Structure 1
Amino acid sequence: MTAPQVVVSHPARQGFVYRLPLAAQLAGLETRFLTGLYYRPDRWPWRWLARRPGLAATLARRRQPGLDDRVVVSVSGPLPELAYRLQGSPLLGDALHDRLAARWLARHLPAGALFHGAVNSCRDSLAVARKRGAATLLEVTAPPWREALLAAEAERLGQPARPAEPSSRMRAELELADRIVVQAPQVVEFLAAHGVPRGRMVLLPLGVDLERFRPATGAGGAGTAGGAGLRVVSVGRPSLDKGTPLLLEAWRRAALPDGELLLVGPTGDPLAERLLADAPPGVTALGVLGHDRLTGLLGGADLFVLSSPIEGGPMAVLEALACGLPCLLTEGCRSVVRDGLEGRVVPSGDPDALAAALRALAADRAGLAALRPAARRRAEAFGWADHARRLGWLYRELLAGALPAGAEPLDLTGR
């Protein structure tokens, strides 16, 4: 294979990262994907593992349909996964992957190429890429300075202290990247408020599988009946990061007659169990659901709600929109939702505002149902094919040196 034009690096515990090298490949660019474990059905031991009961579906999530296996370089193999299991945190595994990826780049990355890494796992790689004369992109998933927003709530609930500042690794990555890709408009404002130059940011929302997530048809496909209580769904592990204490308090204050708040996500950790034990009436934790059950639940609900203080680009919001479900979101996780068009957006950290919005939406069920077509139309602008086209355009323009940084972020939302 010829020298790469685009190199994407990530230990790949997040499924969307497989879409990044695929976008480069679809754009006709010579690509390499530096990662950890990656399922190759024709290789040992994957062929043997795929025969074991229950493993086939798990392994299938470790590869990207359409991505040429020849571009995948498993530089860190199982090390990030093993480190995570030993440490209970991704930090060590991400650092190991970064070190090994940087060694690969030092040998193989040509001048004039483009390196695309992900926050917290590419400091050394970015430094090597810059030294070798490559353009550099940093993908922000978990926004820096997020932990500071959670510090007071963590202390109130007796949780481990949250750092007030980003790690030195994360700060270095922000400095080393030529451009910083953010996945939602609220992150642009959040980073700008902490001194990150607006002109270095690129707004590129994630995509959603529009075939897997579709509005339900027939009975249950348009929310609950007008006389029933409001059925609300929230997806994500009950935690401080997802704003669960705020959501439960807002639900308590809203006091909706016969209302249902259905929480989808893992619940096995002590904080989740504590939050759920004190939950107000009408709250039910459903645990982790498979795809079919989740899409059925979203299609049969009236409203999706998320109250995270700040999120990079919550996939659950796009999936809810794709199912035609209006959204009630706090400002920190509004994603691509526009207030009054596909749902409501209220200030972060304000349980009264969230409770008032719940009551208002419950009182106007016809108006809420009328937002369902708009929710689906909004999602249709953010399919994975749209994401690949936008990212491929960005790669080509950066390789051509045609995108000097300006005063404002480069917004690819409508491109």
Structure 2
Amino acid sequence: MITTRNRAEALERTCERIAALNPPPAEVLITADGCADDTMNVIRKHVPHATVIINKSARGSVACRDVMMQQASADLVFALDDDSYPEQLDCFALVSRFFEEKPKLAVLHFPQRSDEYPATLSQTEFGAEHLTRSFANSGAVLRRSTYLQLPGFEPLFFHMYEEPDYALQCVAAGYDVLFSPVITIRHHYSGKARSEMRNHHRHARNELWSTLLRCPLPFAIGIVIWRVSSQFRYACKRGWSWVIREPGWWWQALAGVPYCLTNVGFACLEITQTPVFGFQPAVFRTSFLMKFIVAQVGARRGYAVPVILQKAGMLERFYTDVAGNIGPSAVFSAAWVLPLVGESARRLVGRRLPFDIRAKTTTFPAITLPHVFRRVIIARDPAAACREDVRFSDALGRAMARRGFGNATHMYSMLGECGPLFAEGKRRGLIVISEIYLALSTERILTEERKEFPGWEENVPDYAAVCRGFDSSGGPRADADFAICPSEWVRDDLVRNFGFPIEHAAIVPYGVNPEMLSVPDEPVHGRILFAGTAELRKGIHYLAMAAEKLVEHGLHYEFRVAGHVEQSVANQRQCRYLTFLGRVPRSGMTREFASADLFVLPSLAEGSAEATYEALACGVPVVTTREAGSIVRDGIEGRIVPSRNAEAVANAIAELVEDRQKRERLSRAARKRALDYIWVRYGERLVEALKCFANN
């Protein structure tokens, strides 16, 4: 992994060397951190298969390395600067054995031949292997599985000092940081754009922050005083010009003190007697206090929440119904060819637990598989199916509660699923956070809409009556201390209509697969795409009426509806201008987005419709409502129209289809908007929101 900023010439030399390594790396991760030079052309020329993370504005080398460590797919990550590289082409074969032989090895680093120290350029002896308390990211191999268990590189640092801070974490947790001359690093160090005084200020500031983050009171007070005085003595040795500027980093450090004091609260600090700071006590064993049990039914965004929490070191246990690649469910998923259970088994095949969370996952096939069979039998009776779903959630929650809570301090709920688990956790004093992935007023809104449009949705059960008598019927507010809302619309509904404290609700928009950003924008003029179940909640009837109005004005566009549709909807006269495609596989949806002129979703109630994120990533302007909870901004990436207003939907469609220049402008803005909402950013926002809740 390499982070670079406007040093294309140095990066080119490093990339040439990387391309020559034998064996080659499994992947190359490069972060272009606010680059405005020829960096991207250099990467494309020498390492065209590299994964490139582009930060439009600089986030700092420390934050960049933290993101790459989390994104890496291999367990061993070779950290380099843009001006450093290994001198031995077979370096991977030479270093990998160390990690195989030493399971407690967290970091392996090497001697460097650097222009900063000319004597090293001809040096041949660098000493024997030995344990250390720091290393340089310009030439070190880190074990990713260890990194994910620790706080890792602190993004607050921006630049410098992340290495000794991380080494301290490793040693405190019982891992080794080892220096070995098995290979050497060539570091073409340049003083260009470097400032000694700025580096001194950053080093001193970050050193102080590290003390506050890793050291418990009251010891932190004495160490901070010692740190500040030591740095001041160094400034005195450099002269008056340094002394008078010394308060500069003091003020920078003070600005970060509140953050450090609140984030040290996530760590339980056990004093040991190993010297690191230079006097006793010095090492503080760190383990996160903010530990989550996550419970959910289904894969929900590819198990995004437990994976994110695991990467952040915050996952205690993950409870879910079944997964298609572990336990007895793996056998059942192979039955997708059978006529009775084929559809259920096919859905189960798609539930693939990521490797990172398998060890902390518990599934409940003994409860889930009978539920699946019962669901198949009563599928044509909506009321019975609804009661079975509630009964299943209730039974699943009780089973989860019996499996225990471990060392959890927090619980993460999906809109009140598995209610008994969270009720018991609440009784034990755990803090419950509920993700409100669908606005709580949805059922009220749909009840009103079904009265206005009878015959569109048939045999809809009385959900409130069905839920009576079950522990899960309390809903998401029954036990929730805090709420994660995917959109402002959901948060406002929660606060305004259900009395939830606004300071206990955070808005965390979802994300999109960055691969969608590369889907070509090849629009067919007048092709309108709708994706999702064709139902009243998603406003299919308003899309149908908008199509009618456009035809009345002589505008014959093509309306394509990708998603499940009931005959009661498809047979409506108003839908005669809609083409229903049925369920479309992922590969087919990519083609639909590529050829769409516009994406239209006139929803009445959502959480934050993920299809709108995908449309933006593919460069398709979006016409939608505020109730869809999208990240679309009116007039920038699309149009936001009032809900329940077919006339407004029709006018917005005609406006964007007929004005090609505006459509192209919105298309470019759509991709740009989606860049800030890839899944990595979602993870960062979610963890930050959870930490803010802990501070509350």
Task: Indicate the TM-score class for this superposition, using the shorter chain for normalisation.
Answer: 0.7 to 0.9
Give, in whole Å, the separation in 2 of the partners of 1:280 and 1:382.
Answer: 36
Give, in whole Å, the separation in 1 of the partners of 2:332 and 2:431.
Answer: 40
Q: Match for residue 196 of structure 1? A: 499
What is the CA distance between 1:202 and its match in structure 2? 1.5
Aligned counterpart for 2:375 among listed residues 84, 91, 95: 84
1:223 aligns with 2:549: no
Give, in whole Å, the separation in 2 of the partners of 1:137 and 1:287.
Answer: 36
Q: Confirm or deny: 8 A CA contact 2:604 2:643 kept in the other structure.
A: yes
Give, in whole Å, the separation in 1 of the partners of 2:415 and 2:477.
Answer: 8
Relative distance call for 1:331 and 1:31 in structure 2 (3 A) is: same
Give, in whole Å, the separation in 1 of the partners of 2:575 and 2:335.
Answer: 43
Give TM-score scaled by structure 1 length: 0.83
Q: Confirm or deny: 8 A CA contact 1:251 1:280 kept in the other structure.
A: no
Give, in whole Å, the separation in 1 of the partners of 2:677 and 2:360.
Answer: 26
**Counting helix residues as a fraction of each chain, which structure ranks higher?**
2
Matches for 1:327-406 after TM superposition, within 5 Å: 327-398=622-693, 401-402=694-695, 404=696
Matches for 1:165-180 after TM superposition, within 5 Å: 169=472, 171-180=474-483
Deviates more, 1:28-37 or 1:79-88: 79-88
Between the aligned residues of both structures, percent identity stands at 24
Q: Confirm or deny: 8 A CA contact 1:182 1:204 kept in the other structure.
A: yes
Structure 1 vs Structure 2 CA RMSD: 3.0
1:6 aligns with 2:297: no
Residues 132-152 of structure 1 deviation map (CA, whole Å, 9 limit, x = unaligned): 111101111232221221223
Residues 44-73 of structure 1 deviation map (CA, whole Å, 9 limit, x = unaligned): 562685497698975542123343312111
Give, in whole Å, the separation in 2 of the partners of 1:170 and 1:382.
Answer: 34
Give, in whole Å, the separation in 2 of the partners of 1:90 and 1:387.
Answer: 32
Q: Match for residue 16 of structure 1? A: 301
What is the CA distance between 1:394 and its match in structure 2? 3.5
Classify the secondary structure of the residue corresponding to 1:176: coil
Give, in whole Å, the separation in 1 of the partners of 2:316 and 2:407.
Answer: 14
Residues 239-265 of structure 1 deviation map (CA, whole Å, 9 limit, x = unaligned): 111111111111211235231111111
Matches for 1:7-406 after TM superposition, within 5 Å: 7-12=293-298, 14-16=299-301, 18-40=303-325, 43-44=327-328, 46=330, 50=334, 58-75=347-364, 76-88=367-379, 89=385, 92-105=388-401, 108-110=404-406, 113-155=409-451, 156-158=453-455, 159-160=458-459, 169=472, 171-197=474-500, 198-211=502-515, 213-217=516-520, 221-224=521-524, 228=525, 230-255=526-551, 257-267=555-565, 269-275=566-572, 278-281=574-577, 283-398=578-693, 401-402=694-695, 404=696
Tell me, which stretches of 5 or more residues in structure 1 are unaligned? 405-415
Give, in whole Å, the separation in 1 of the partners of 2:369 and 2:463.
Answer: 32
Classify the secondary structure of the residue corresponding to 1:359: helix
Give, in whole Å, the separation in 2 of the partners of 1:48 and 1:347.
Answer: 46
Classify the secondary structure of the residue corresponding to 1:339: coil
Classify the secondary structure of the residue corresponding to 1:214: helix
Give, in whole Å, the separation in 1 of the partners of 2:408 and 2:358.
Answer: 24
Aligned-partner residue type, residue 522 of structure 2: A
Give, in whole Å, the separation in 2 of the partners of 1:387 and 1:397.
Answer: 15
Classify the secondary structure of the residue corresponding to 2:323: coil
Give, in whole Å, the separation in 1 of the partners of 2:312 and 2:522.
Answer: 39
Q: Confirm or deny: 8 A CA contact 2:325 2:353 kept in the other structure.
A: no
Give, in whole Å, the separation in 1 of the partners of 2:440 and 2:590.
Answer: 32
What is the CA distance between 1:119 and its match in structure 2? 1.6
Classify the secondary structure of the residue corresponding to 2:484: strand
Give, in whole Å, the separation in 1 of the partners of 2:576 and 2:690.
Answer: 49
Larger radius of gyration: 2
Give TM-score scaled by structure 2 length: 0.51
Relative distance call for 1:287 and 1:143 in structure 2 (3 A) is: same
Q: Confirm or deny: 8 A CA contact 1:21 1:31 kept in the other structure.
A: no
Aligned-partner residue type, residue 310 of structure 1: A
Classify the secondary structure of the residue corresponding to 1:116: strand
Relative distance call for 1:234 and 1:297 in structure 2 (3 A) is: same
Relative distance call for 1:16 and 1:84 in structure 2 (3 A) is: farther
Q: Confirm or deny: 8 A CA contact 2:324 2:348 kept in the other structure.
A: yes
Aligned-partner residue type, residue 240 of structure 1: L
Identify which of structures 1 and 2 has the higher relative contact order when contacts are C-alpha pairs closer than 8 Å and 6+ apart.
Answer: 1
Give, in whole Å, the separation in 2 of the partners of 1:292 and 1:223.
Answer: 17
Residues 129-185 of structure 1 deviation map (CA, whole Å, 9 limit, x = unaligned): 111111101111232221221223313323446769796755543132001111122
Aligned-partner residue type, residue 247 of structure 1: L
Aligned-partner residue type, residue 133 of structure 1: G
Aligned-partner residue type, residue 523 of structure 2: G
Aligned-partner residue type, residue 558 of structure 2: E
Aligned-partner residue type, residue 272 of structure 1: V
Give, in whole Å, the separation in 1 of the partners of 2:643 and 2:594.
Answer: 26
Give, in whole Å, the separation in 1 of the partners of 2:602 and 2:446.
Answer: 13
Relative distance call for 1:265 and 1:48 in structure 2 (3 A) is: closer
Residues 5-61 of structure 1 deviation map (CA, whole Å, 9 limit, x = unaligned): 21111121x5326111111101012431111111235x4562685497698975542
Aligned-partner residue type, residue 46 of structure 1: A
Q: Match for residue 233 of structure 2? A: none
Deviates more, 1:335-344 or 1:162-171: 162-171
Q: Confirm or deny: 8 A CA contact 1:249 1:351 kept in the other structure.
A: yes
Give, in whole Å, the separation in 1 of the partners of 2:612 and 2:319.
Answer: 29
Give, in whole Å, the separation in 1 of the partners of 2:411 and 2:463.
Answer: 29
Residues 249-291 of structure 1 deviation map (CA, whole Å, 9 limit, x = unaligned): 1121123523111111122x2323223x54244x211122222
Q: Confirm or deny: 8 A CA contact 1:183 1:206 kept in the other structure.
A: yes
Give, in whole Å, the separation in 1 of the partners of 2:601 and 2:676.
Answer: 21
Tell me, which stretches of 5 or more residues in structure 2 are unaligned? 1-286, 380-384
Classify the secondary structure of the residue corresponding to 1:394: helix
